[in-house]
Amino acid sequence: MTTKSLTFPRLFPRPKADTGIWSWIGTVDHKRIGTLYGITAFIWFIVGGIEALLLRVQLARPENDFLDPEAFNQLFTMHGTTMVFLVVMPLSAAFFNWLIPLQIGARDVAFPRLNAFSFWVFLLGSLLLNVSWITGDAPNGGWFGYAPNSSTTFNPGIGMTYWVVGLNILGVASIAAGLNFIVTILNMRAPGMTMFKLPIFTWMTLITSVLIVLAMPVLAVAGIQLLSDRVYGTYFFDSLGGGDPVLWQNIFWLFGHPEVYILILPAMGIVSEVLPTFARKPLFGYPFVVFAGAAIAFMGWFVWAHHMFTVGLGPAANSAFAISTMLIAVPTGVKIFNWLGTLWRGNIRLNTPMLFSISFIAMFTIGGLSGVMHASPPTDAQQQDTYFVVAHFHYVLVGGALLGIFSGIYFWWPKFTGWFLNEKLGLTNWALMLIGFNFTFGPMHWLGMDGMPRRIYTYAEDMGWETSNLFSTIGSMLLGLGILVFIINVFYSKMNKKMASADPWDGRTLEWSVPSPPPPHDFDEIPQVKYRDDFWFKKHPETIAQYYHDEHDDQDQAVPSGAQFDGDDEAVAVPAVAENKSNGHGHGGIHLPDMSYYPFVLSVGITIFGAGFLTNTYVIAAGVPFFLWGLLGWSMEPVNDPE
Ligand code: HEM
Ligand SMILES: [Cu+2]
C-alpha cells in the first residue's frame, strides 16, 4: 500500500534550467553554492577593506579630523565584524562547498537544500547588518560588543541591535552549514576512504564544522540575552538590575576564542594541501597534523579568559588560563614543524599558490609568537587594548587566514573554472600583499609597546606615533593595491584564458581526478580508494613502496614493500582525466537532487523576523508567511519531481 505523500501547493514552478537568475536562486549544487559564497564574501572583503583604509587615513597623522569619533567607532566595529563573519568564515565555506564532495569522492553534500539555505541566510543576514550604514546607525560598540557599552543606557542608537540581530541570523547559517559538512564527511566518503585516508583539508573542515556547531550557539545565547536587554529591557548584563557585564565577556569569549580557530583551521588545511603538491612529497607527519588540529580545537575551549586578564579575575584564574593558553602553542608548533618537514628536501616549485603558503607559515608564526607573549598575564597587562594586540590578531588573521585563503584561490582556481589565473599578475599580487601587510601591521607592534591604545580615533602630536602610523597607512594602501591587482588578474585571465587540464599541478587528491571545471555530477563513477593521496598513487604507483613500507597503519597490509600492482587496480580506477560528455540534465542516469527555491523563501522569513526586532516587533508577523511557506513547501517537496 503506497502512502500518497503530502504535497504543498506551488506558487512558482520548480526551477529546471541551469541558466538564469532562477537557476541560482534554486540551485542545490555544492559547486554553485561555493561560487555564491566566494563572490559574496569577496564583495564583503572589499567593503571591510575600504572600512579599514578609512580608519588608516584617519590615523595617518595626529589630530586628524577626516573622521569624527562616532564614524571611527562604527568603522572599526563593522570592519572587524565584517572581516570575521562576512569574509573569512564564508570564504572558508566557499572552499568547503567546492571541495569536500570532490575530495571524499561524493557527488554532493548530505543535505543539498540545507546547504542552499545556509547560503541564503548568510547573504540576507549580511545585507541586514549592512543596511545599518544606510540608516546611518551602524554598530559602534566594537566587534566583541562589550557590555555595558552595548546596552541602551550607554548606546541608545539602534546600531548594536543591528549587530546582535545580524550575528544571530549569521549564526543560523553557520550552524546549518556546519551540521551539513559533519554529516557529509562522516557518511558520504567513497568506498575505501577511511578517516585516515581523508585529505587534510577535509579533516580541518570536519574539525572546523564541529567547532562551529559547538561555538555558534554560545554566541547565540549571548546575542539573545543582549537583544532582550536592548529591546525588552531585561538586565542580563546590566548591573543596575542585578545583571553582570563581565558575564557578557565570559560568554562572548567562550565563543570568541574557538572562533579564532574556526578562522584559521581552514587556511591551515589549504596550506597542508598546497605544500605537498609543490614539494612533490606527501605531507610530513600526516597523523600529527590531524591530531594537532583536533588538539587545538579541543584546547581552544579552555583559554577564553586570556582575553580578560585585566578584568580582575584574580591570580588563580589568570595563572590557570595563562598555562592553558601557552599549552596551545605546542600543537600549533607541531603543525609548523610538519609544514617545514614537508618542504625539507622537497622538489620545490615556487609559484603563486606556493609563495602564499610559505608566507602563511612565516607570518602566522610571528602572530603566534606575539600571542604567546600576551599569554603571560603581567605582559598582557601592558599589551591589552594596545596596538600590539591589533598587530597580533592581524598577523594571525591576515598573515595567517587571508594569505592561506589566497593560496587556495590560486591553487584551486583552475579546478573551479578550467583556466589559470595569470602567474605574473599573481606574483605581483603576492608581493604587494606581503610587503603591504608587513608595512601596515609591523609598526603596530612597537606603537602598542609604546602605549598607543587601540580604537582611539586620533592621538596627540607629541606622542611620537606619527611616523609609524603614516608608515602603517602607506602599508595598508599597498595591501589594498595588492588586492586590486588580484581583481585585475581575474578579469585579465578571463579575457585571455589559459586553459587548464583536469590535473594541472600533478595533484594528490581526488578533486584532480575529475575534469576542470567538474560536471554537475562530479564523478562518472564513484572512486574506490585504497591510499591516502589516492589519486597521486594511482598515477605514480612506482612511488607507493617509497612511502608506505615505514608506516604501521592499514596501508602496510595493503601494500607489502616492493610489491608491483596487479590488474585489479584497473577495475577500480576512475577515468582520471577523461573528458566526460554526460553533463546536462541526464547526467548519464546519475541521481542528482532537483533545484528548490524553498530554502531561499525560508531564509527571507527568518530575515524579516530579525528586521522585526530592529523596527517594532509587529514586523515580525510579516515574516511568518514566508517562514511557513518555506518550511512547509520544503518539508513536503520531493528531492526529485516524479518524471
Ligand atoms: C586587509 C587589510 C586590513 C587592514 C588594513 C586592517 C586594519 C585595521 C585597523 C586600522 C583596525 C582598527 C584598530 C583600532 O582602531 O583599534 C582594525 C581592527 C580590526 N581588524 Fe582589521 N584590517 C585588515 C584586515 C582584517 C582582517 C582580514 C581581519 C579578520 C579576519 C581583521 C579583523 C579586525 C578586527 C577583529 C579588528 C578589531 C575591531 C575592534 O576593535 O572592534 N582585519 N583593522
Ligand atoms: Cu583568545
Nearest atom, ligand 1, residue 437 CA: 2
Structural domains of the chain ordered from first start: 1-21+593-643 (1.10.287), 29-495 (1.20.210.10)
Q: Can you give the pLDDT at residue 5?
A: 67
The number of beta carbons lying within 10 Å of the beta carbon of residue 395 is 26
* Nine cell digits for residue 423: 602567474
> What 8-state DSSP symbol labels residue 196?
G
Whether omega before 148 lies within 30 degrees of 0, making that bond cis, reads yes
The answer to whether the CB of 52 is under 6 A from ligand 1 is yes
Query: Global pTM?
Result: 0.93
The answer to whether the CB of 219 is under 6 A from ligand 1 is no
Q: Where are the alpha helices (DSSP H) in 374-495?
A: 377-383, 387-396, 403-417, 423-449, 466-495
The answer to whether the CB of 303 is under 6 A from ligand 1 is no
The answer to whether the CB of 267 is under 6 A from ligand 1 is no
Pocket probe for ligand 1: among 59, 64, 79, 146, the residue whose CB has the most ligand atoms within 8 Å is: 79
The answer to whether the CB of 489 is under 6 A from ligand 1 is no
Q: Can you give the pLDDT at residue 584?
A: 46
C-alpha 258 to ligand 2 mean position (Å):
8
Residue with CA closest to ligand 1 atom 19: 80
C-alpha 388 to ligand 2 mean position (Å):
14
At residue 548, φ and ψ (nearest 5 deg) are -110, -5
pLDDT tens figures, 486-532: 999 999 999 999 999 999 999 999 999 999 999 999 999 999 999 99
Cα separation, 288 vs 331, whole angstroms: 9
Nearest atom, ligand 1, residue 440 CA: 5
* Nine cell digits for residue 406: 589566497
Give Cα 569 distance to the centre of its chain: 37
pLDDT tens figures, 152-171: 999 999 999 999 999 999 99
Give the closest ligand to the alpha carbon of residue 144.
1
> What 8-state DSSP symbol labels residue 149?
T
Which residues place a Cβ less than 5 A from the ion ligand 2?
A: 257
Cα separation, 95 vs 311, whole angstroms: 38
Contacts of 497 (CB under 8 A, 6+ apart): 419
The answer to whether the CB of 454 is under 6 A from ligand 1 is yes
Q: Can you give the pLDDT at residue 19?
A: 85
Contacts of 260 (CB under 8 A, 6+ apart): 300, 393, 396, 397
Residue with CA closest to ligand 1 atom 37: 80
CB-based contact 586:617 (threshold 8 Å): no
The answer to whether the CB of 440 is under 6 A from ligand 1 is yes
> What 8-state DSSP symbol labels residue 642?
-
The answer to whether the CB of 165 is under 6 A from ligand 1 is no
Residue with CA closest to ligand 1 atom 4: 52
Cα separation, 625 vs 326, whole angstroms: 51
pLDDT along the chain (643 residues), means of 10: 66 82 94 98 98 98 97 98 98 98 97 97 98 93 96 93 97 98 98 97 98 98 96 94 96 98 98 98 97 98 98 97 97 98 97 98 98 97 97 98 98 98 98 98 98 98 96 98 98 97 97 97 95 94 77 44 41 40 54 91 95 80 92 89 67
* Nine cell digits for residue 401: 587566514
Give the three-state DSSP class for 329. Answer: helix
C-alpha 256 to ligand 2 mean position (Å):
7
The DSSP-derived string for 530-562 is: -STTHHHHHH-GGGHHHHHSS--SHHHHHS-TT
Neighbouring-strand partners of residue 419? 499
Contacts of 86 (CB under 8 A, 6+ apart): 41, 44, 48, 126, 129, 170
pLDDT tens figures, 6-17: 778 887 888 887
Nearest alpha-carbon partner for 429 in 405, 395, 412: 405
